[in-house]
Each structure stands twice: as C-alpha cells, then as structure tokens.
Amino acid sequence: MANARKLPSGNWNIRVGSGEGGKAISFTAPTKKEAELMAAEYKNGKRHPERRTLEECTRAYIDSRRNIRSPSTIAGYEKILRNNYAGIAHLRLCDLTRQNIQRWIDDLSVSHSAKTVSNAFGLLRSSVIYAAGAFDYSVSLPKSQKPLVELPDPAAVIAAVRGSEIELPCMLAIWLGLRMSEIRGLTRASISGDVLSVSDAVITVNGQHIRKHETKTYRARRLRVPPYILSLIAALPPDQQSLTTLSGQAIYKRFSRALAAAGLHHIKFHELRHLNASVMAQLGVPERYAMERGGWSDPTILRNVYQHTFSAASTAVADSIDAYFSSLLSNDSPASPD
C-alpha cells in the first residue's frame, strides 16, 4: 500500500490500487491513521466511503468522538441523528448534492429553530468531512433571531420560591449566576468559610447522572457566598453532602409550578442566570468582573445573550424620554436632559 502524504490543508491523503475505470482510489482524512484505516478497509473489500450512507458516516463520526467529547455532547449528536436526519439519512455520500442538502435544511427550518438547524447541519458537515475529507457544498442557513425575553422582577421571583425545597438552587442561580449543572455538582466540600469553589458539574444523559470534574467553561471559579445562602446551606440535613439531591428536571418542574402559583409568567430555570447578568448590568458591575463571576469567556455572549432589561426599568427609561420630548412641545421651558 502507498504511503499517506500530508496535504497543504493539513489533511492526509493516500491513493491505493485501481478502482472502477482503472483509476486509483483516493482517501483523505484529518489524520494519517484515519486515512490509512480507510484505505485498509477498502483493500479488505469494504465499501468506499462515498458509497456509505450519510447515516453510516455520521455514526462513524460520533463513535470517533466518544473519548474526546462530553457525554452530553455525544447524546446531543445522537439526538440530532435520531430526530433531524429524516429524508437525508439514507443518501450515499456520492449522491449528496447542494440541492438535496439545501432542501433538507429548508424543510427542517419549517418546524425547528435556527439554532437547531445550524447544529444539525454542523453535524452533517463534520460527518462528511470525517468520511470524505472535504465538504464542497455551498448552502444557506436560516438566520438566528434573538428572542425578546421579558424577565420578571427579581424580588417577585425570590418571593415565589422562598421557603420551598428549591429555594437554595434558585438563589444560587439568581444571586451567584450558577448554571443548573454547576448547582447539581456542588457539595459541602465546595465551600470553605464563605468561599464557594465551582469546579464540578452533574449532567443527566439517557437517565444516568454523570459527574464531570469541570464546568462548561472548563475552568473553576471562586465566589463569595452571602450570609443568607450560607444559612440555607446550614439548614440542610447534616448527612446530606450534595447541596441539592433533586434532578435538573425535578428542580425545573418545581420552579415552573412556583412561578405559576405566584402569578408570574413562565421562564426557564436557566433564565435566572440571565436575571443575574441583567442585575449586574443595572448595578454597573464592570464587565470583567461580571464575566469572572458568571464564568463567561466571551463578553459578546454576556452582552447579547444574558443581559436583558426589566419591564419596570424599561418603563422608567421610556417615561423620562417621553417627558423630555413632550416638554419640547409645550409652552413651558424644555427640561434639561441629565
């Protein structure tokens, strides 16, 4: 068998034997080992990658990532393959065209969000590159539209959960900006004095609760715990090591019921983290400190995704602007802007 050679793109290519029509068969992969494996499979009578179906290629790609991606990421890949590949999974790579990929994207966009479509396309693209070494199709994806999120007043949310079994998880999210997985990963050992170390996360994949010794941002952070939250922790049963024994789904369901009972509109539990970021923005917390507390590595995400305005604050701003311009239309002296 010929030796694999590295291409200018960084991929590895190997050409073996003679295929149909007397032409050599070329195999390209991100690594030398993968290219040689593809060539060996062909020599052993297995199908050429381009004759594999998209479903087969995607399963091979997912399997190749099991040891280097988190369990939740792998579960997400499998969910996309299971739920979003209808109408295209059976196609062989040699039958893929820009037109049938675009048709799949357009059909998927009818009933799914732009983010879901983008994630599904990303998996498809990576799978094709893994199998064939390149993705040569120019397609158009739906544009993502930032949803208008109206957050409830923080005091109303706190009142809704106060005294309940989910008060501690909710306060950790709304006051300290922790993610659900981070809250579930906290134990008594996470606290030293009044300092909380956020380094573990617990996620649920296919019904299994998995502890990861890393958070979503892959770096631990330390937060000062206010006395009120310390008092909630002190009130836990003495033999309880985890700060919450509830699953993420159980916390979310109880949280939804608490909001409804208080007459508040529904928000996701994760939006308590949005609420925390918005409070910091209102208080004028410098961006670098807000990023440090919330574990954000990109200020753009903090600004565009997590910081919202509250209805009452927005109304006050609008009232002041309206009052100023209304004064310009009156016979009175115009008010001076601050």
Q: Does 180 reside within a domain?
A: yes
CA-wise closest residue to 216 among 301, 304, 127, 123: 301
Instruction: Give the tokens for residue 178.
Output: 């922790």
In a domain, 131, yes or no: yes
How many independent structural domains does the chain possess?
A: 3
Please tell me whether residues 257 and 179 are part of one structural domain. yes
Which of 144, 162, 196 terminates a domain? The answer is 144
The per-residue pLDDT for 25 is 66
Give yes or no: residues 293 and 192 share one domain.
yes
Single-letter code of the amino acid located at 49 = P
80 and 164 share a domain? no
Note down the domain range covering 264: 154-307
User: 41 and 63 share a domain?
Assistant: no
Q: For residue 334, is it within any domain?
A: no
- Which run of H or E residues covers position 38? helix 32-43
pLDDT more than 90, % of the chain: 43
Of residues 243, 136, 233, 229, the one with CA closest to residue 200:
243
217 inside domain: yes
Of 63-77, 152-166, 178-192, 318-332, the range with the lowest mean pLDDT is 318-332
Indicate whether 140 belongs to any domain: yes
Assess if residue 165 is contained within a domain. yes
> Domain for residue 338, yes or no?
no
Domain co-membership, 82 together with 100: yes
**232 & 265 share domain:** yes
Q: Are residues 228 and 259 in the same domain?
A: yes
Q: What angle do CA 191, 197, 199 make, to 5 degrees?
A: 130
Burial 76-113 (b: 16+ CB within 10 A, else e): bbbebbeebbeebbebbbeebeeeebeebbeebeeebe
Residue 285, pLDDT score: 79
Q: Which amino acid appears at position 10 of this protein?
A: G
pLDDT interval class at 221 (50, 70, 90): confident
- Residue 134: the pLDDT is 84
Residues 158 and 182 in one domain: yes
CATH number of the domain within which 97 lies = 1.10.150
- 210 shares its domain with 300: yes
User: What is the reported pLDDT for 280?
Assistant: 83
pLDDT tens figures, 59-71: 999 999 988 888 8
181 and 225 co-located in one domain? yes
Q: Which residue has the tokens 């928000």?
A: 267
Query: Is 320 within a domain?
Result: no
Structure confidence at residue 217 as a pLDDT band (50, 70, 90): low
Domain CATH code at residue 159: 1.10.443.10
pLDDT band at 334 (very low <50, low <70, confident <90, very high): very low
pTM: 0.64
Q: In angstroms, rounded to a whole number, what is the distance separating the alpha carbons of residues 115 and 173?
A: 24
Contact call for residues 212 and 203 (beta carbons, < 8 A): yes
- Over range 155-175, report the average pLDDT: 94
